[in-house]
Amino acid sequence: MAPVAVATDSTHYLPRALADERGVHQVSLYVGWAGKPERELDMDGFDAFYDRLRTDPELPSTSQPSIGDFLAVWEPLLEDGRDVVSIHLAGGISGTAEAARQAHALLAERGLGERVAVIDGETGCGGAGMLVLAACAAAEAGGDKDAVVARVRETREKLRIWFCLDTLEYLRRGGRIGKAQAWLGGTLRIKPILSLEFEIIPVERVRTAGRAFERMVRYAEELRDAGSDGWVVQHIQAPEQAERLIARCREIFDSEPVFTSEVGPVIGTYTGPGLIGVGAVPRSLLS
């Protein structure tokens, strides 16, 4: 057993089998309609959620984990003699990392603060998944808490990830549009390409889905040329487009993806169906 446990929240969207295999400990965010929040980790598939999202005039609400949710995951690990590195969704779009810091402060009052490191990953989805896998690799190699944190920070510096949306409408309705606000002065009938750093950052606008797809392919080539060869593809209710992008990326990188998966409801509430994303880091950071 690694001396350091890796924890995160549910918005990494690693395939569940992979997260279990690597021993990732998870704290769930919540999402639901009409004041009936559900733990995202308890959802068995996302199709029913996205079917309703397409048609319901009301957006679901999302909420961060409670302080108690974090402690419920961390405390058994500490009692087992392990330190914890806990990596979370970008603070610019969610209060999750701040809630984790508040939970950490309670542990510090009990003299346990030095054994837990909380990291705002300044990313989400596939980007967060790669930070988690980098942390797992460092922990499995026997690294102490500081070594695991250093690996996460190095990986974050190298991480690049873009995603393309079918529409800006969900970001606008959900209030998470960040610096892409400037694009709302024109038509929403564009295909926006964005990045998730501390907040959502606009990258480019294109007019058609075909041009957006080809721009994502060119971005994958740029990632390869920069030495980022550990790649991921994610989507929301767009399996055919995702498979096309995966096939192109296999040619570009001459390798299999680190993982592919569908983005879940907490993030999907604000992006809507139709998202495809690609990102990468140097594969050496994940091993």
Scan for tokens 């350091």, then name that residue: 4
Domains and CATH numbers, the chain: 4-157 (3.40.50.10170), 160-286 (3.30.1180.10)
Nearest to 13 by CA among 201, 231, 260: 260
pLDDT given at position 201:
86
> Is the model more confident about 190 or about 17?
17
- Bridge partners, residue 206, by sequence: 191
Q: In whole angstroms, what is the distance from residue 111 CA to residue 86 CA?
A: 18
Q: In whole angstroms, what is the distance from residue 271 CA to residue 278 CA?
A: 15
Q: Is the pLDDT of residue 178 over 70?
A: no
Burial of 148 per CB tally in 10 Å (0-12, 13-18, 19+): buried
Strand, coil or helix: 185: helix
Q: Is the pLDDT of residue 35 over 60?
A: yes
Contact between 277 and 246 under an 8 Å Cβ cutoff? The reply is no
Q: What is the mean pLDDT of residues 166-180?
A: 72
pLDDT given at position 31:
97
Q: What is the mean pLDDT of residues 225-247?
A: 97
pLDDT given at position 188:
54
Q: What is the mean pLDDT of residues 17-28?
A: 97
Q: What percent of the chain has pLDDT over 90?
A: 83
Reported as a pLDDT band with limits 50, 70 and 90, residue 179 is low
Residue type, 58: E
pLDDT given at position 197:
85
Reported as a pLDDT band with limits 50, 70 and 90, residue 1 is confident
Q: In whole angstroms, what is the distance from residue 190 CA to residue 264 CA?
A: 23
**Helices marked H in the chain:** 16-21, 47-55, 67-79, 96-109, 125-140, 145-158, 169-174, 209-225, 239-253, 265-271
